Amino acid sequence: MDSTLKGKQVAPYLVFFLVHSMQVGVGVLGFQRQISNIAGYDSWIAVLIACILSHVVLFLIYKIAEMGKGDLNETHSYLFGKVVGGLFNLIFASYFIALIISIMRSYIEILQIWLFPDLNVFWFAFIFLLLAIYIVNGGLRSVTGIAFFSVVVPFYLFFMFLFAVPYSDYSDFLPLFHHSFKDILRATWKMSFLYIGYETLLYYYPFIQNPKKSKLWAHLGLILTCIIYLYITFISFGYYSEPQLQHIIWATLSIWKIVKFSFMWRFEYIGIATWFIVILPIICIPLWCASRIMKKTLNITQRSGMIWLSTVILVIVPLFQTRLQIVSLVNHINQVGLIINFFYIPLLFLILLIVKKVKK
């Protein structure tokens, strides 16, 4: 382990927040429509299968980190050489930047539709990125602190779903397996979009104190993600009928509309504003990973890499104006994320295993 990293490392239990915070983002606000269109009330099974598959991938990620040469930058160089390995690293950096663009633009779209129709995309993205740069400039510990608050502070929002229970009917969940197994697998593929993000662990792994002790915490973070998605799925599918779910774009936000207090009638405004804290680490963690890739690959400072990447993000985000463009962007990025998680990572594990055996 590089001695220079010792003062920058985070405790193993904090990996719980780093993993979980990357998986709960804009998708929570409207994933119900995507899976209900395919598997209907059997979609909760797809949520569970996607969670199990994600645990398998997380297991492989730890194996790659343990068998490799520290973070994924060094592992790529070890397996493919400096030039080809550097190219793979830059592809990952591009993926992280694209992920930031899709998440940021999706959240801005929600703000424009629900709160501020005349919100300027460029200036909001500019302020958002300034805050992200400030956090990432403080190092991984600062990013981890934001991840911690993004899990703890907005947790009260999940209790607001209970307001829908008195108006819900759960009899439609029976009989089970009303849809074919093929439909459930298709819904699992769609649901897997929401679990991507934990591949960032391949880059901050050297910054974890006693990383082997963090395995349990990483899997617990993934379990909490699964519980939240199952919880929201059951609440939403009980409150809405299947035809309603297939037409409501943001089912989660629509549920918040029924929450009313004597001093507050539009609770969804509070939920959307609070969700900013949830989105923040999903911007900061990939930005930290991408800037570290630039540092290791192009031999520039991480701060310079971060500023250049933020400039690229700021230029690209306003280019997506219509709903169709935003949805297309998100779908393409999700497809790339699934390929990386469920195809490339297992393949990389096999390659690393073969290389280790041959060299031994």
| Residue 71: DSSP 8-state | S
- Residue range 41-70: average pLDDT? 89
pLDDT in tens, 99-108: 999 999 999 9
In the numeric block, the tokens 């849809």 are attached to 179
- Which tens digits make up the pLDDT trace of 138-151? 989 999 999 999 99
Residue 227: half-sphere exposure toward Cβ, Cα within 13 Å: 9
Q: Which of 195, 192, 199, 197 is nearest to 61 (CA)?
A: 199
Using the predicted structure, report yes or no on whether residue 325 has a pLDDT greater than 70: yes
Does 293 have pLDDT greater than 90?
yes
Nearest to 165 by CA among 228, 259, 25: 259
What's the chain's length in residues?
360
Contact 57, 341 (CB under 8 A): yes
Percent of the chain with pLDDT over 70: 98
How would you label 191-212 residue by residue, b for 16+ Cβ within 10 Å and e otherwise?
bbbbbbbbbbbbbbbbbbbebe
C-alpha gyration radius of the chain: 21
Kindly list the distances between the CA atom of residue 331 and the CA atoms of 194, 328, 336, in Å, as whole numbers in the listed order.
Answer: 11, 5, 9
Taking the C-alpha atoms of residue 236 and residue 30, their distance in angstroms, rounded to an integer, is 10
Contacts of residues 334-338 at CB distance under 8 Å and 24 or more positions apart, as own/partner, are 334/193, 334/196, 336/95, 336/98, 337/95, 337/99, 337/193, 337/196, 337/197, 337/199, 338/189, 338/192, 338/193, 338/196
pLDDT in the model for residue 4:
54
**Which amino acid is present at 275?**
W
DSSP state of 342: I
Domains located in the chain, CATH noted: 3-163+172-359 (1.20.1740.10)
> pLDDT by residue (tens digit) across 232-281?
988 988 888 888 888 888 888 888 888 887 777 788 888 888 999 999 99
Mean pLDDT, all residues of the chain: 88
Q: Is the pLDDT of residue 360 over 70?
A: no
243 alpha-carbon distance from chain centroid: 28
Displacement of CA 73 from its chain's centroid (Å): 21
CA distances from 54 to 64, 140, 188, 197, 211 (A): 15, 24, 11, 10, 19
